[in-house]
Structure 1
Amino acid sequence: MADSIATVSIEEDDKGLFWVELDGSDHKKGPFETEELAAEAARDLIEGFSIALANHLLGANQ
């Protein structure tokens, strides 16, 4: 089994704004003025991904 199923990264652009990206996809959120706001968005993205995965797995087992 893989160590992780998704990786989220926070990157700063040349304007000093932060972007959150679900690695391996085109899903990108931002811009955020602070790294703290980007981290909060990253947590929300991970939580949403986890819920969607759980719902998918529960549906597959029924």
Structure 2
Amino acid sequence: MEDPREHDGLVGPKTIEAVNAADPVWFVGQFSVLRCAYYGELVLKRPVNVKFLRGWLNRVETCLRHAA
């Protein structure tokens, strides 16, 4: 689902308010998707980073397990 709010790249009071209002499990799930995409981009841009990918994804999985 597309977020209608304007993205400015900053974490300010409106961002904190939105995060606090969100369902924690939903938020962690959405944030995890973004983290995985970011890690994939890192590996595509610099393939030598593939050696770190398993560890990065393990951290995402751990975060998801703790949120559930």
Higher helix residue share: 2
One fold, TM greater than 0.5?
no
* Structure number with higher relative contact order (C-alpha < 8 Å, ≥ 6 residues apart): 2
Higher strand residue share: 1
TM-score range, shorter chain: 0.3 to 0.5
TM-score (normalised: structure 1): 0.43
